[in-house]
Amino acid sequence: MALNAIYALLISVFGGFFSGIIIAIIAKEELNSGMRYFKILSIIFLVGTLVMLIYSLVYKNYILLLSFIFLLGIPTGSLVARKYMRLLRRFIGKKIY
């Protein structure tokens, strides 16, 4: 049972992070103008994740925690991808606009 929780946590973390990277690649123009909002969303989802961590420890319900972890990964992945766009270009091998 604990192994399933670890798998779900890893899927939430990496799924959200890679979704954020994909969003950064697809919508680079919007990312430049919306960077401020991504930072605000990261803070909001971080606070939500901490609240859901306490909730999940008390009530043993981890679905909301995993959802907030996934949502935290999206703006974080986008901001990281914006910062390291040159590295992504080399890794993917194509021109990213």
Instruction: Quote the pTM value.
Output: 0.82
pLDDT at 97 over 60: no
Measure Cα distances from 54 to 20, 25, 44, 64, 77 in Å: 26, 34, 16, 11, 24
Mean pLDDT of 64-83: 90
**pLDDT tens profile 27-51:** 878 888 888 888 899 999 999 999 9
Cα–Cα distance for residue pair 77/83, rounded to 1 Å: 10
pLDDT given at position 82: 82
Highest mean pLDDT among 4-8, 11-15, 84-88, 89-93: 11-15
